[in-house]
Amino acid sequence: DTGVSQDPRHKITKRGQNVTFRCDPISEHNRLYWYRQTLGQGPEFLTYFQNEAQLEKSRLLSDRFSAERPKGSFSTLEIQRTEQGDSAMYLCASRRQSPNEKLFFGSGTQLSVL
């Protein structure tokens, strides 16, 4: 496995700006997940894709958040009009579709909204 890759590793932005993160999953994995993690907490599920279809969205995913996986490979997570409360680590994970397959996580994108 070449691993799940996330870009950028760190992002500092001003409140009100839009930001976009990219995730490249392991190539043969058709399931892709986005999580958010704040300091001292475990990762919180945001959304997941099977191939290019977004199959579930958490209530944590407000209207300012949008995720895409246009060709069923890489995915992007965009946050519009960022707020200070959006500051967190955004984690991407991928896995094969078969039951009980383990999740492989990337190293995350640390977002700081000033």
Partner 1 sequence: DAKTTQPTSMDCAEGRAANLPCNHSTISGNEYVYWYRQIHSQGPQYIIHGLKNNETNEMASLIITEDRKSSTLILPHATLRDTAVYYCIVNYGGSQGNLIFGKGTKLSVKP
Binding site for partner 1 (CB under 8 A): 4, 31, 33, 35, 40-45, 48, 55-56, 91, 93, 95, 97, 99-108
φ/ψ of 23, rounded to 5, equals: -130, 130
Which lies closer to partner 1 via its Cβ, residue 45 or residue 74? 45
Instruction: Tell me the closest approach of the beta carbon of residue 93 to partner 1, in angstroms.
Output: 7
CA distance 105 to 33: 9
User: What is the closest distance, in whole angstroms, from the C-beta atom of residue 81 to partner 1 in the complex?
Assistant: 26
Query: Is 83 or 101 the residue whose CB approaches partner 1 more closely?
Result: 101
For the chain, the helix, strand and coil percentages under 3-state DSSP, each to the nearest 5: 5, 50, 50
Pairing mode, strands 109-113 and 88-95? antiparallel
**Residue 3 or 16 having the CB closest to partner 1:** 3
